[in-house]
Structure 1
């Protein structure tokens, strides 16, 4: 890339920086949200017995002041109804409760849902909303399957359904270590999302065979990235690292830092790049010279494509990228209900897990989630799956 082209990219990057921070967390406030921990440390959500179909309360951000929340809410509701229809009559019933996208609204919605006999809460969307809903339902035995991916809120009666940084990092590092890329230097922005990403990678490294050789933060700006590259390059060489974990997003800092590091001699065969975010969205990212040969994780493409096609056929449009979380949650609830079991901690955390729109997944006792992911490599500007998503949890996430 020419100096002029790189400068243009950096200028564009600055204008997109706030948007990019949000995309690190999949959607704004799902991850990088300052929230208090939910009540309980792992014993809540035991379940509520009741005859007949399982009563599901769907909490979505209808009535929110955020302009995009209405669209997200409708897509989540559509996906949940699609899953309920697939289960057949008599398995679940669903009532929709608006949260206005606020903790107060989520708390009120959860309180009302519990009083009206809900046995499980599906949603809400934002991390602080999920904490509020979990606290409101904490004494009832009702589990909360939130659409957040923020592991800081997991525990007690609250689970996160969104794919987490830890899950992605564990999968990518486990595969990379088996390819001999076992000494990993982490780079991350010094903002809140970047710090969360760095912490998640360090936590995920345990048990993967990978060793974290250090981490280098950078200011989320043109000057910050440029200034940090010499330090990253020097530390990568000094620590004998053979892989560099890039936490940036394709619409933000990722293309810039990958390009600058490549020009500094970091990347390629000597220092394999590892990705914490999806490098195939947008597809233009695959053409980035600095990312060629790098590894990143993605859901099993076959079931995800099937879900999107069925959603489009049912509702005449594409689902929101988070809609699959509502389908997966309802499918898990239905699988338990079909067996005649109560939806609660014991049945939600069964080791075999559940079939989802992006492959299998399982809920853990600590409120987090394991999602079976594929590992892909960018080869000649195209995706090449180098490790398919496992179909059981004997090897998923490893």
Structure 2
């Protein structure tokens, strides 16, 4: 973790994305200590929302609108708490994010919700560190977490811990890890190998492949041999369905990897796009996903309110606003301090319960699913609190 309100941060390698029912809070009682400004809880709470309006990329404008919509939906659900929300355009640019973050603080903001991308969140955090204002970023990049920057996005570490722990609990105690040789792939690999070690399972080998069709084809025999030679009971793939998962899963079958002997485990969701569920190679595979119940409720509610489905990460804006409202309702003037934000009970978000950790990362309750007959089957429901299994 970086020192509190550090002026420098690590180089960035990945940026945001995760997804988040219109639920609000979890109870919390925390001491009035920790970094962050004091607020007047009897007045509207000044909150700044930093989103990528102004970008040349039309998709980012749509993302910005979806995040703002979700934040305003959450505001309507706050019981007895008023928020004075001001929206600032980052254009998806770190320099502009830093500029508008300072502007937001001059305008009286006591906490910043956003930005989306890791570099922008890092820049905003540094820009307002001297003002002791906390930043709840929509990023899932743990490298920018720490000091006054928290990440709301679901992280590889969180997903890996959940799905690896479940696989180990089902007797899949010897695991091989494979990953694309990219910056993101390496982060995924490290999350999985750390999760294997912390779960008590055994790492039966780690092997990378070039992130291309030829790279997968050239590496698959070596991966299959490693699995068979080491008697691996699970093969964890730190890749996604837009990358190597479809081809790799099929070629593993063709190279003699028996999914009834060696279960495939995904670090990312294998139900997006839905057509992935039809692939022969992923049948029987495991992956983690947000609690389907509240996620579906949020999506339906958003659709009803705005006439279109939410962006996949729009729920993060709802979660951040709901957490702010819950803390103001219970903690008064110290609601937006680091100590309050990191209280142990956590919050009920639109994809299940979550909480911030002291190092700026987060824990999110996830379900574990298995693909059975081309359908998603929940084999381990998401915990409803942090006293439940899966954490």
> Does the TM-score normalized on the shorter chain lie above 0.5?
yes
Correspondence 1:224-373 to 2 at 5 A: 224-339=215-330, 340=332, 341-373=334-366
Map of 1:30 onto structure 2? 16
**Partners of 1:375 and 1:386 within 8 A in 2:** yes
Q: Distance in 2 between matches of 1:237 and 1:177?
A: 18
More displaced stretch, 280-289 vs 196-205: 196-205
Q: 1:50 aligns with which of 36, 39, 59?
A: 39
1:38 paired residue number: none
Once residues 126 and 281 of structure 2 are traced to their aligned partners in structure 1, the CA distance between those partners, rounded to angstroms, is 46
Matched, 1:156 2:147: yes
Candidates 373, 376, 379, aligned match of 1:383:
376
Q: Which has the higher contact order (CA 8 A, sep 6+)?
A: 2
Aligned partners of 2:165 and 2:195 also within 8 Å: no
Aligned: 1:104 with 2:90: no
Matched, 1:70 2:56: no
Q: Which residue of 2 aligns with 1:211?
A: 202
Q: TM-score, normalised by structure 1?
A: 0.87
1:139 Cα deviation from its structure 2 partner: 1.2
TM-score normalised to the size of structure 2? 0.89
1:372 and 1:397 in contact (8 A); partners too: yes
Per-residue CA deviation, residues 136-161 of structure 1 (Å, 9 max, x unaligned), is: 11111111000000111110100110
| Partner Cα distance (2:46, 2:194) in 1 | 36
Residues in 1 aligned to 2:388 and 2:161: alpha-carbon distance in whole angstroms = 12
- How many equivalent pairs are there? 359
SS at match of 1:139: helix
The superposition leaves residues 101-149 of structure 1 with CA deviations (integer Å, 9 ceiling, x where unpaired) of 1110100011011111111100000000000000011111111000000
Structure 1 gap segments, 5+ residues each: 1-27, 32-43
Q: Aligned equivalents of 1:46 and 1:296: distance in 2?
A: 37
Alpha carbon RMSD of aligned pairs, Å? 1.6
| Residue 92 of structure 1: aligned partner | 83
Look up the match of 1:83.
Answer: 74
2:380 is equivalent to residue 393 of structure 1: no
- Using the TM superposition, name which of 88-97 and 64-73 deviates more: 88-97
Structure 1 residue 307 displacement after superposition: 0.6
